[in-house]
Structure 1
Amino acid sequence: MNAVHPPGLYRHLDEMTPWDDRLQVLEVISVTDEAPQVKTFTFRSDAQAWFRYKPGQFITLELPKAGGPLLRTYTLSSSPSRPFSISVTVKAQAESIGSRWMFDYLKPGDRVKADGPSGEFSHHNHPAEKYLFISAGSGVTPMMSMLRWMHDCAPETDVAFINCARSPEDIIFRKELQLIGSRMPALSLAFLVEQRSNRETWSGLLGRINATRLQLLAPDFLEREIFCCGPAPFMRTVRAILEAAGFDMAHYHQESFCAPAVEEVPAPFSTTERTAPAAEAFLLRFSLSGVEASCPPGETVLQAARAAGVRIPSACEFGLCGTCKVKKSSGEVAMSHNGGILDEEIAEGFILACCSRPLTAIEIEA
């Protein structure tokens, strides 16, 4: 019997509007096992929109967990060259609440809210003649997004692709990568695993990335635009290898959802500062909630909103993911972000609540 599809399910791209970077609702259409404790969740737009983003960007999912929603940021593993759906590939660590919830409860037909896409980790921002992608574990996801785009749109691209994993069965996307490797003539594909497996024979390289293995797998790495993603110790190792080799670090890019290190410089001490009265707090008005609150100097809009009981969604809380983006109707703020908001959005009056500190009384649409 032929399946019956809802009317309007299949539409031409020019009949659909693009998914934008405002809050959206996504419907799960498939859940796929990729490796032990790794699944790919594929979504379509609840509003029948098509997806426009840069390969390597990320979204923030609002997971409807009992007791209150969880906000979690995931890199898109899909490619914008296939615009009718998007995918995130998630590794469930023992301590990860959000990923575990997705594994246990998220199934086809379910709907979740999402914000994005965001992020600057994309080869579209750094065009080059040759690339080197170095990843470990689930850090392969943005590399897969970029490589899938190249496979669809620029299959002659010169790419050296190095993926590191604990064991052969932990290599995410292994079969697809090998298939792409057979179809991209200038793709050099290499896997590096830490230990052999009892489940399958392994004749490839063993060990961890180091200067010798990098030179072996990508002899011309000094000439390539390099993208790196993986656990923090892994990325520190790669960076140290490149710096020791004299690589021009202006051509090195890494993806990380950890707050950047900030070097605090102690302010000069003076008697005047010691005896000066505390500065007055600024008045904040949250127009949609009908709430007024005060924000002490140095505090962020997000901190003031929480203290006043006004909910502004947030995830990374250091200006990267863009989840806490809100419209400022009036007033001035000092905002120091890490790429989570576009210049045109700032011109329209949007701010990131997590990294904006009032300079005057302000009004926020929240």
Structure 2
Amino acid sequence: MNELSQKSAPAIWSDSELLECVSVVPEMPNTASFSFRAPSGALFAYDPGQFLTLEIPALDQPGGMVHRTYTISSSPSRPRSITITAKAQPDSIGTRWMLDNLKPGMTIRAIGPAGLFSNAGSRAQKYLFISAGSGITPMMSMTTCMWDEGGNLDVVFINCASRPSEIIFRQRLEQMASRTPGLDLKFVVEEPDSYRPWTGYQGYFNQLMLGLMAPDYLDREVYCCGPEPFMQAVREALTGLGFDMENYHQESFGAPVATEADAPDLDDVVPDSATTAELHFSLSDVTHKCAETDTVLGAAKAAGLNIPSGCTFGVCGTCKVKKTEGEVHMVHNGGISEDDIEAGYILACCSNPIGSVSVEI
């Protein structure tokens, strides 16, 4: 680079400079995208999926302010501005202030960008993005960046929301998907909006949906973001299907991870084929040893007992039995209610015994 081009190269923004709000775009109730520029004209450099920490006024808090982290929803391929998308929860302080008070022309202090949740260094050719609610924001940043860079985009993009009207970025994603075969959108809602038919997936994300949405999931690099119970359900669905979890990455939108040391330990129960479990069928007074990877249904059949069953993958609920002692690892697909689980019932077809377990058979 010659001396003239060095002098004319734009500066890169650093968090020593305040950000100026340039637009506030409502996305849905209690959710908006806030875009900022650097007053100096500096450009923004970051990895898609990273986050900013904003310093937000809060007179009722110590020091008169709070710090809140927000994933960047814009793409570094569009460096003249930077955008965060925020959703206010009922107990929100910082986001509530932003929605009520932050207007174009106002300035705010930001720290960052930071964070490890990004596909910037990945060599994968095929991706599976799975998110819930505002966990969609890093997926939007990564998808937009790949879209802008061109090449052979191959992304299955799954987002789960309470209802269709609460799917953030839906129109923008559909516009992108309508112009390439490489972006495959799948939306899952808990319930439809009133008087507006919904013909897509409905319910809670599960193994069955995963197999239908991304049949080649074993070949994809998975990125997941959402509330911890949602991410745990995704992890259980993947491990239950034999996915290599070395290719799984996650980021909680409640607590973005800045360094490897901050990353939480995932203590999920994973049945081990080399570990022996013992099942006691109490009504028949039969005890049977098996591997943790065997199902209660399979172990019962091996012991000469019959548990009525239908689908064998946790949908129909035919194999529901009462567990009286011990623990099982159960990954079902909607065939049992939370009330039944609380009462001690399991689905034998998709429950793996851990240690010593007793069931009423």
2:37–2:81 contact (8 Å) kept in structure 1: yes
Equivalent-residue separation in structure 2 for 1:209 and 1:163 (angstroms): 9
The answer for the alignment partner of 1:190 in structure 2 is 186
Change (3 A) 1:152 1:49: same
Equivalent-residue separation in structure 2 for 1:38 and 1:31 (angstroms): 10
Structure number, greater radius of gyration: 2
The answer to whether residue 32 in structure 2 is matched with residue 39 in structure 1 is yes
Equivalent-residue separation in structure 2 for 1:191 and 1:258 (angstroms): 22
The answer to whether residue 114 in structure 2 is matched with residue 121 in structure 1 is no
Change (3 A) 1:14 1:201: farther
The answer for the alignment partner of 1:325 in structure 2 is none
2:87–2:95 contact (8 Å) kept in structure 1: yes
Deviations 1:161-202 (A, max 9, x none): 011110010000000010010122211111111101115332
Q: What's the CA shift for 1:321?
A: 4.2
The answer to whether residue 16 in structure 2 is matched with residue 48 in structure 1 is no
The answer for the alignment partner of 1:19 in structure 2 is 13
The answer for the alignment partner of 2:344 in structure 1 is none
Q: What's the CA shift for 1:338?
A: 2.8
- TM-score between both structures, scaled by the size of structure 2: 0.67
The answer for the alignment partner of 2:262 in structure 1 is 338
2:227–2:254 contact (8 Å) kept in structure 1: no
Deviations 1:115-171 (A, max 9, x none): 100011111122201000000000000000001111111252111101111001000
Give the letter aligned to residue 249 of structure 2: H
Equivalent-residue separation in structure 2 for 1:48 and 1:35 (angstroms): 30
- TM-score between both structures, scaled by the size of structure 1: 0.66
Listed as ranges, the gaps of 5+ residues in structure 1 are 1-12, 260-315, 323-335, 340-366
3-state DSSP of counterpart to 1:132: strand
Equivalent-residue separation in structure 2 for 1:99 and 1:17 (angstroms): 30
Give the letter aligned to residue 13 of structure 2: W
The answer for the alignment partner of 2:330 in structure 1 is none
The answer for the alignment partner of 1:289 in structure 2 is none
The answer for the alignment partner of 2:231 in structure 1 is 235
Give the letter aligned to residue 214 of structure 2: A
The answer to whether residue 104 in structure 2 is matched with residue 94 in structure 1 is no
Number of residue pairs matched by the alignment: 255
Deviations 1:92-126 (A, max 9, x none): 11111111111111111110000100011111122
The ranges of structure 1 where at least 4 consecutive aligned residues each deviate by more than 4 angstroms after the TM superposition are none
Match of 1:138 among 134, 137, 143: 134
3-state DSSP of counterpart to 1:236: helix
Equivalent-residue separation in structure 2 for 1:40 and 1:182 (angstroms): 23
3-state DSSP of counterpart to 2:168: coil
Give the letter aligned to residue 52 of structure 1: A
Give the letter aligned to residue 18 of structure 1: I
Equivalent-residue separation in structure 1 for 2:247 and 2:258 (angstroms): 23
The answer to whether residue 1 in structure 2 is matched with residue 77 in structure 1 is no
Listed as ranges, the gaps of 5+ residues in structure 2 are 1-6, 264-361
Change (3 A) 1:163 1:155: farther
1:168–1:200 contact (8 Å) kept in structure 2: no
Change (3 A) 1:258 1:99: closer
Identity score, percent: 51
Task: Out of 220-229 and 200-209, give the one that drifted further.
Answer: 200-209
1:30–1:108 contact (8 Å) kept in structure 2: yes
Change (3 A) 1:96 1:321: farther
Q: Residues 278-293 of structure 1 correspond to what in structure 2 (within 5 A)?
A: none
Match of 2:172 among 176, 191, 196: 176
Equivalent-residue separation in structure 2 for 1:202 and 1:257 (angstroms): 27
The answer to whether residue 115 in structure 2 is matched with residue 150 in structure 1 is no
Give the letter aligned to residue 211 of structure 1: Q
Change (3 A) 1:209 1:64: same
Give the letter aligned to residue 171 of structure 1: I
Q: What's the CA shift for 1:258?
A: 5.9
1:25–1:47 contact (8 Å) kept in structure 2: no
Give the letter aligned to residue 225 of structure 2: C
1:140–1:229 contact (8 Å) kept in structure 2: yes
Change (3 A) 1:110 1:201: same
